[in-house]
Amino acid sequence: MNAITLKLPDDLNAALNEACRQRGLSKSAVVREALEQSLLKQGDAAGAAERWVARWQGCLKLPKTQGLEKSDPRLAHLLAKHVR
C-alpha cells in the first residue's frame, strides 16, 4: 500500500477526528473509504456519460445548412464528427 501526506484545514481535521471516533476507525480507513466513494461516483458519472455518447453519437440528422459548414470550420467539425 502507498502512503500519502496531506494538509487539512482545522475544521476538516476536526470532522475527520469525530468520524474516526464515532466509527472506531483510523484516519487512514476513513479517508480511504471517502476516496473510494468519491472516485466510484466519478467513475459512475463518467460511465453514464460515455454510454450516453455511445448511444447517440452519429445519430444526428444533417441540418439544411446550404453550404454554411464550408464557411464555419466549427460547424464543419461538428458535422463531420457527429452526423452520419
Q: What is the pLDDT of residues 7-55, one digit of tens each?
A: 999 999 999 999 999 999 999 999 999 988 888 877 777 777 777 777 7
**Residue appearing with cell numbers 452520419:** 84
Whether 19 is in a domain gets the answer yes
* Amino acid (one-letter) located at 61: K
The number of folded domains in the chain is 1
Domain carrying residue 34? 10-82
**Residue appearing with cell numbers 454554411:** 68
More confident residue, 74 or 19: 19
Whether 54 is in a domain gets the answer yes
Whether 1 is in a domain gets the answer no
Q: CA-to-CA distance for 65 and 58, rounded, in angstroms?
A: 17
Whether 4 is in a domain gets the answer no
pTM (whole model) above 0.85:
no
* Amino acid (one-letter) located at 54: A
Whether 73 is in a domain gets the answer yes
Whether 2 is in a domain gets the answer no
